[in-house]
Structure 1
Amino acid sequence: MPMLRVTGWPSSVRQILGWAVRASDGRIGWVRDLYLEDRNWTVRHVVVDTLHRLGGRRVLLPPEAIEHVDRVGRTLQTGLTGRQVSLGPSSDLARPVSGQHGLDLGRYYRFPSYVVSVGAAVVLAPAILDRTLDVHYDRHLRSVRAIRGYHVHALDGDVGRAADFLIVNGSWEIGHMVASIGLWWPARTVLVPVGWIAEVSWGAGTVEVSLPAEAIRLAPGYDPAIGLGPAHEERLEGYYGRAPFGEPRAMAKL
């Protein structure tokens, strides 16, 4: 199977919003949103606004269909045709999408284990099998556009707001939440490994973190212009006492 080709992997999900989406026969639209799965912290769906010539529909595209990520050109390339994508399952951004919807997407695009397998992208021949989809709520599926701005709630109170999420290089996994700390300007920006996130509450508009507020406030600062390098990641792991997906260890003393 073809491997995912990367030309400068984006460091954050926020960067991908607005990127162009190209099919095998030309540009078909742009990235409207990404849907994250907050149990295993992966990107489940790419939400694409298609061009007017293709119907102007808002459709769901599985990450497995992305075969090339071009950061320089701000483009996601799929091996599907424009017609295949434009006739794909529509997206309702007003609510999360269910696991049943994911199964229907799998039938439409013919990606095996679409709901549970969201690793490195592969390109398979899609087939239009069933366009009648049932949409249900899935409390573990999050819109990036919606979750940005959620209050970050520590064990002992609010500490700031969720600003972004960082993508593990070369995959569709999420490693860290970018948090904007405090009410002053400019706000201090820190990273929180997603392993410390206990819950994302759509109703309350909060990201619940299993750490005291002071631990988050005093975390190593993060500069989005520089990004997350190996040295910074090592500092974060040492400070928080766990890797993004690791088991808890004793946190470093403040």
Structure 2
Amino acid sequence: MKRSINSLLNYTIKGTDGEIGKVEEFYFDDQTSTIRYMVVKTGGWLSEKKVLISPEVIQKLDCESKILSVNLTQEKIKNSPDIETDKPVSEQQEELIRGYYSWPGYYGKGMYGHMGLGMWGYPLVEVRKTEKEMIQRKMEKHTNDKPYLRSTQEVTGYDIHATDGDIGEVEDFIIDDVSWKIHFLIVETGNWFSGKRVIISPRWIKDVKWQEQTVTINHSKEGVKNSPEYDSSQPISDSYERSLNDYYEK
């Protein structure tokens, strides 16, 4: 099912032996537009430590109770590597996390990705092919690593530019809760289109300037303005998604 990222904030993360904490934000891969981790703020049992948990360990999503059940124990969370969640996560940091939890690494293709041009304007990197290569990379200092895991909280508020001017700001994200792929960005148009909300696919992104906090898409203001209207009170149906894709690809 497709749902907004904001609707999942403050969900309770429940481990196999008790409550772990609350969902605070998400990290996505800027090469494949896939949610890689939930940032979870632990409860008083762990002095409110922040940890990264992969959607791969989710066992059940209960929307009525707002609970995400995961296949992790409190002890495993307690001893997890410390990560600075207020900064983009580098490949080196992700290796530490995935190594600790014994989660398989994947970069550019495999579980969710594909080779080619990344959704957010980057060429995808090659997958590691051998355990020896992984060990070697861990030994390096990675002083020139480019962070590629981005916070949804950080990108919220980024300015969206069309080919001929501004159209609004990123307000939210629509994801698939099975693949955890970002399907759309929800854009608040404010004064540009009288407060109308529109949705933009990562496939239409031409360029992202992280330092300037801007996203440029390869469509005009008029084209976006006349796109099929988005109703935030209704789930995104397959028919609506088809009509949106048909509109932008005609």
Q: TM-score range by the shorter chain?
A: 0.7 to 0.9
Write the mapping of 1:155-234 to structure 2, written as runs, cut at 5 A.
Answer: 155-183=163-191, 187-234=195-242
Deviation at 1:141, TM superposition (A): 2.1
Write the mapping of 1:17-166 to structure 2, written as runs, cut at 5 A.
Answer: 17-114=9-106, 119=112, 138-166=146-174
DSSP 3-state at the match of 2:82: coil
- How far, CA to CA, are the matches of 1:82 and 1:135 in structure 2? 31
How many matched pairs? 220
CA contact (8 A) 2:168 2:192 kept: no
CA contact (8 A) 2:2 2:235 kept: no
CA contact (8 A) 1:154 1:208 kept: yes
Question: What are the Cα deviations for residues 127-153 of structure 1, in whole angstroms up to 9, with x where unaligned?
Answer: xxxxxxx89764432211111111111
Summarize the Cα distance change of 1:214–1:186 in structure 2 as closer, same or farther, 3 Å threshold. closer
Deviation at 1:113, TM superposition (A): 1.8
Deviation at 1:178, TM superposition (A): 0.9
Residue in 1 that maps onto 2:248: 240
Question: What are the Cα deviations for residues 20-58 of structure 1, in whole angstroms up to 9, with x where unaligned?
Answer: 111001111001110111211001111110011123201
Summarize the Cα distance change of 1:63–1:225 in structure 2 as closer, same or farther, 3 Å threshold. same
CA contact (8 A) 2:14 2:20 kept: yes
- How far, CA to CA, are the matches of 2:83 and 2:66 in structure 1? 22
AA partner of residue 151 (structure 1): D
- How far, CA to CA, are the matches of 1:193 and 1:105 in structure 2? 29
| Gaps in structure 1 of 5+ consecutive residues | 1-8, 120-133, 242-251
Identity of aligned residues (%): 30
Summarize the Cα distance change of 1:89–1:200 in structure 2 as closer, same or farther, 3 Å threshold. farther
- How far, CA to CA, are the matches of 1:163 and 1:156 in structure 2? 21
Question: What are the Cα deviations for residues 67-98 of structure 1, in whole angstroms up to 9, with x where unaligned?
Answer: 22222221211111012123222332321001
TM-score (norm 1): 0.79
TM-score (norm 2): 0.81
- How far, CA to CA, are the matches of 1:15 and 1:89 in structure 2? 28
| Gaps in structure 2 of 5+ consecutive residues | 113-140
CA contact (8 A) 1:60 1:90 kept: no
- How far, CA to CA, are the matches of 1:199 and 1:139 in structure 2? 16
Deviation at 1:201, TM superposition (A): 2.4
CA contact (8 A) 1:47 1:91 kept: no
AA partner of residue 56 (structure 1): E
